[in-house]
Structure 1
Amino acid sequence: MQPNSSTDSLQSSLSSLIDRTTLWDNSPKNDDNKHDKCVAPLNDSAWQSVSLLNDLIESKYGSNTNNTSNTSELIPWTNADLKQLDNWIEQTLGKYDSTPISSAGDLQQGKAYPNTFEHICLWEQQCQNLYNDVNEAVKYLDTLHDTYTKVSYKTNSLYRACEQLLADQTKLLNITECIENRLSYFDDVDRFSKNLSISPLVSDVKQLIPALTRIDECLAYFDTHDSFKQSLIYKNQMKQVLFKALNIIKAHIIHILQNSSNTIDPNKNHTLLSDDAYTLFYGRFRINAPKVKVLAEELEQRCSRNPEYEKTLFDCHECYAHERRMLLAASVQSAIQDLAIKHERDMCTLVRGGCAFLLHLCQDEYQLFYQFFSKHSVYLDTMLAEFCNVLYDNLRSRIIHVIHLETLAELVTILKVEMIEEHVKNSAKELSTFETVCTQMLEDVQERLVYRTQVYIRNEILGYKPSPGDIAYPEKLEMMQKIAQSLKEQRASRLNSQSSADSSSDIVFETIPGTDLSVISSSMSTKDGQTSSPADLHGMWYPTVRRTLVCLSKLFRCLDRNIFQGLSQETLTMCVQSLIAASELITKRQTPMDGRLFLIKHLLILREQIAPFNVDFAVKEMVIDFTKLKEAAMKFLSKKSKLLSMNRDNAFLDFLLQGTLQVKESFIDSKREVDKHLKQTCELYIADLSSLLCGTIRQYLQRAQVILKLNHDQNNIQKVSLREQPFAKPEVMHDLIIENYNLMKKQLPDIFKTMSLYLANKDTEQILFKPIKNNMQQAYQELIILIRDQYSEEDLQIIGCPSQEQISLLISTSLSK
């Protein structure tokens, strides 16, 4: 309290000094009070000193002189400030000591003031007191400053000590928290071991889920801090804790699954084909599914963290599959046996019904499994595969005894189209196991189909023994033509008044049974006025052709492209061979022309009907060529003496180098074979008809060419006259030409009729007859040139050879008949 009191006294003294000094010159001159009247007025220099003193005080205290209540904010006077004030007072007072007082105020006017000295002494005394007070105040201020400095230093030291203590406390708290956090992982091992030593109640199993999360955290911590002491020991103990917890969860899930299975009475003869099968085998079993689902999802989410979770989940999957297998195995076996007994004689219905049953079973089992679990399991696939194999084992023993191609083809359609394409592709995940078994069954059926097809084409096509009716050509065609003609006449009499547009309704599309191949037949006239031949009816086709096309149409939808190409090539080859054999029988029975036309017609049918398949009827065959090996062996045997020769002519070395086997590739194209046989047959038919119609003319021309060549070779020797030869006399030539002309006139209508009967296509007939016509015209053209060159005009008149125009007119007339 002393520093504040000294400061207040110093401030009051200074203020009083300033106020009294200010009153010196401000007193009124006419004031009657002699004591208060200014007897020593200040001059300008004195007032300047007073102002300086006032400025010094204000600069030190400022506004604090007006607000004395806030003493805590006063600025203490330092020793330097006090020295400055002392020097100022000494300089000011010294200056006023040398200044005569009489020079101010009334003294200059010669007035005397007797009390001036007393006043001055009084003021001097006051100034001296003021000076002493100021010195005393300065001492107090020095004491106050020293005390403040000590207190401030101690306070700052206390502050720093407290801050250091707080920092140390915070650090210790963090260390303690870190230690507790680290120790918590180790403490949890004992806590979980103690809690899991007693199996929890069923209702408390869900409480293990947070514990599993903490166990996973502890194991992860032990893995990342394996450098800690005894970390490995605690890690192994925590694994044991996890193993106990997972065993409790697994036991709980297995208990639920077993209870769900026990709700279905096994003593009753339940079947999956009954109406209440779904409710019985699925509705009751899925009642407890939500309880298992919660725990299973937790295990599934943690499978990536620890293999124990995955192993536990697999055990649960295995238990589920086992319970479902025990529950359904007998029912599935019984249901399939019931279907087999019910459809014992209908293989297609059995396969369709069995596959549909297993298809729905797999879908229901898949959906039921995902009511309990969310992650797919191999045990589910294994269980479904066992159910599917029951059907597969039951059907395979029946499939391998099917001999009919129609049945095998329909089975392929059922498995490939109805099951795989229509059902499996839309539910690939649910029916993946069923697809595997169904595909395996399909492959077995296709393999059986290929085998039976090979047997069929070998026995029924290549080894076909035609009956007399099969080769009764052209009798059967003529009979069918008469029947068609009679039907045409009857229909024409009934439809006499109908328009030509209505006549199109008489066209019948005949389809080969079991195929998509159709043949258009009509008993009425076609657009160009010609009637269709009975040969166009598929019933009039040769049996091997009909069987070949039926077989190919079935195989095309049932087999893969590569397999179909190889099998179709073999089928076509055997079909062509059977047609050639039948053609030879018809030739022996009738005429070569009938055999040729039969073969041409059926080769055309075959080529036309295989075109829609749009595949290559070609196969690549690998053949081993032993030619070089044979030649090398012959040389080796001829060089036995050089067997051990040490030069290049060593027989054994030559055998090794030259006796290598060669593998050659060969392509067999059945389409080309058909075209090749068709071309050869047409050429033979053209040659036969050309020889029939103008064979005598060709013989004459050949003999005449011999005579002409002989004359050309003899040069100057006497030449032989052609017209004098017995075979070339004009009269003989006349009889030869007349005979050949009458032959053509007689044979051409029959030829056109036979071609129309067999081929029944004007375009084909014209294409086939065009080379014959050209051969006939060429033969007569050569004959005309020859006789004009070698015979006289009189001989030409005798011979009477027809012109090319007449031959063309004869052909046209015969064609119109």
Structure 2
Amino acid sequence: MASTKRPGAPGTLTPHAKPVISMEEWETKAPLGEVEARSVNLIKAASEKAALPLKTPQQFYDWFALIDRSVAHSQEAHYRAHLESVSEHLDTCDRLIQRIDEIDSAVDGMLNEWRLVEEGGKSLKGACEQLLEERDHLLSITDAIDERIGYFQELEHATRMLNSPGDSLVLQTEFLYMVERVDVCIEYLKAHQQRHFREAEIYLLRFQQCMTRAMTLIKMFFVGSLKALTVDVTKRMSEKDVSATAQMHLLYTRFYTVSAQLAPLLAELERRASAHPDELSSLLSECHSAYFTARKGLLVNRLLEEIKGLDPTRTELVELTRTGCSYLKQLCTDEFDLFRAFFNSGEDQLYAYLESLCDYLYDDLRPRILHEPRLTALCEVCTVLQALMVLDVPAIDDDDDEYVDELNLDLDGSAGRADEAVLQGAVGDPERYSVLCAEGAGFGLPAEACLKPVTGFEIKEKESVSQLFQLKSLDKQDTWYPTLRKTVWVLSQLHDFVKSAIFDDIAREAVNLCRQSLVSAAETLKSKAQSTLDGQLFLVRHLLILKEMTQNLDLENKNPDRGIDLSGVTDTLASMLGRTTSLLPFPNALLTSLGMPSDENMNDVRRALDQELKIACEAVIASCANPVTAPLRSWTDRVHAHRLSAKPLGTSSVSSEPPSSTQTVQSMPWATPTAVNALFTTFNGACATELRAAVGRLRLYLEDERTVSVLLGHVQDRIVDDWAEWRALVRDVYPIGSGAEVDVGTEDLARAMSGATCIIHTLSPLSVNYQRNPEIFHQVNVLGTQNVIAAAVEAGVRKLVYHSSSGVVFDGHDIVNGDESLPYATKLMSPYTASRILAEQAVLGANGRDGLATVVIRPTGIFGVGDQELIVGAYDTWKKGTTHVQLGSNTNLGDKTYVSNVAHALVLACDKLPDPAVAGEVFFITNNDPRLFWDFIRALWGRLDEAFPEEEAKRTKRKPVVIPRLLAFVLAYVMGWVAWLRGADPPPLTPYAVTFATSTMYFTSEKAKRLLGYEPEVGVDEGLDLTVKVCTLH
């Protein structure tokens, strides 16, 4: 049976969709005619009564297949037409490709022929260039031969000219040109005699002979002219009644006239003598000797007459020095200018000649200088001599202020250098004897010598006008100790009058002797006074003034253009007495904190002075604090001693239970609640009386309020430290809730703060240690801060700096480069955060209350030495060997701020208050170096491994375990519920800890940088190094 299935669709798709025609379009496009309409009607009639030719299904299938093939054949007609069209196109493309191949072959042939032509042209060009190069080479050889022969031909011309007769040969124009050519030939032959020329040495020798003959002619002409002129001037000056003007004309104008003719010849001789010293320097020396001999013969008699006219036996020393040196200065200046009219060299011989002229006045001045006892007179002599050494002025007025101004003028003039050289010997004597007078001035005398009465017969000295020491307390120097006042006076006198090297030696010796005298006087005062504090404050005050003086000396020597900044003295106290100073090498770190350059010449002086000042300040702090805290420290020592005596032998020093001796301490008479309350009352009374009296003495002795604040701040720190230690021990003996509590109220705080100028409030419970008692945060952070504010207002404190936390704006969402515009967190992460927000609001709300200026500092991620949270937790994890566990994916950045940077920011904020731009503001403090959380922790662990290799060796290497953030939260909640059900302490893994370890949170400190001047002093890596270093020590 034939298949009745419809044949499949063709393998390729039609390029266009088959159009669809509706019945209406069919009727419109193919209307039926009459014949067609009749046929349709017949078909219709037949179909209405048509017979059924299909009797079986097989017949239907056959019929349907036939119809289907007919339809398919009609539908594929356009496919066949399209295929024929494509075939024609393919034939056309084949013909095009064939034509393109023929064209490519023709183009390749043309290119080959073009290359052949190009290669031929290059060969022709190369041949032409080679010919041109050969021609140029031959021309250059010809020019070189002509040039070299010219040097040898100059010998004949020079010899012929030098053989010419007559003394006026050197005045001919061609003579100097011939000398120049001979010099060129000599240089050429020296440079090439070893290479290409035969008989070059002979020619060189003959040229040198010509040069020597030429220079000898110049020397002979100069000496002859000078002798003739000297004879004529001597003859005319020996005549009677020769006026001063005529003498000046004979001594200088005549010589200047001759110099115009001789100077060019002497210049040639000097130039050749410098180039050929072995052959020609003797000729130049003969010219110098002849000149100085002639000049000295003309001037000595006139000079002696002038000195006699000054009447040195009756004239006062300073006036004699001024008048005589003024005359000598003018004479030396005239001689110097005249010598320069002839010569450009010979300064050493000139200075020796001028010095010989000055010896005549020096012989008269020296005995007077040796017998002069007054330091100011010797200093004035030095002023006159130094002014004459360095200045080119016609005369010196009598106004002393002008001398000081003149010393600051330009020192580069040639005449000034000449005067400096010739008067150097004259200056040496008054300098030396000024030093001798200074050594006897009394800046190193003992205290008894300084207190002797004035007799009225002492040598009167003038007041110093030097501006060397620009000290704040200079107008109060009548209250200074005499040795200090004498030291300042002597150094002020000597600074402008002696050499800097000599002055440096005197200054070092003076400062050392003055320091020793001050220490001795302080000891004497402490032994005679009722309180040692007076002697200590006396020493601190005078050492600070001496420190200012040494700083002025250092600035004057090292950088005279810099202004004098006196704030370094107070910075010295802050850096010397700061708690972090012990981490730095002393005294170089101290010098760095002062902003002073390190001068090895003054290191010994400054080191001794700084050490003495540090000891004195520590003594003052102890004397102010000990009367207040002595009862507290005594009680603390008794408790520790009692516990040690009651502790059984062999027990461990670390126990989780409180010692059983606590009940015993409570039963002691001196440790009862009544006794403790009485002791605290005594402490409060001492704060109100002893501390206030100490503050009054500080302000009495020290004029600078900032210096008082620095010392007072350290006194308060020591008192607060002793009180905090005592209070912690009291809390240990009498815990909260025991019924026998001792606390400090607002009135007690106010009395404790009496005299304070600034309060830095940093006290807060650790956020990890009080999970079971969240109320402690409210008590300390909120109520305690309110008490501090109230006490500060009552005590009249003007500045309050509050140490807060960046967590007050953190609600669990990431913070990227946050600033102070962020609002407080609405979702509080812990009771600690809630208490910090309330405390901040209280501090900011108190700004302006009764003159109190407040500011809030928000550090982020504090770490460093003494850290009890981040560093301790990481250390415990490292110690347990669980460093392989990681929470989160370690993609979260966070700020890490070293603790000393936070302390630096607190001090800056204290210094800036009460500036309106700072008061009432909050500041984020960071290291400006956010790190990935686990990268930071692993950096700490790596440093611990390097510091403790034995611990690292014992640790088993484990595969890292990463706990996803969500899973960590689930574990934290589950562990918290279990601990709550069991009544146990909260686990270390809390939801807050997970949030902190897996969230991005870093801030910008641009506001602190702009308004406070804050810059991190210790980087993150350096801070980790310091932290681990301290761990290795402990």
Normalised TM-score (structure 2): 0.40
Please tell me whether Structure 1 or Structure 2 has the larger radius of gyration of its CA atoms.
1
Greater helix proportion: 1
Highest RCO, 1 vs 2 (Cα 8 Å, sep ≥ 6): 1
Task: Provide the TM-score with structure 1 as the length reference.
Answer: 0.49
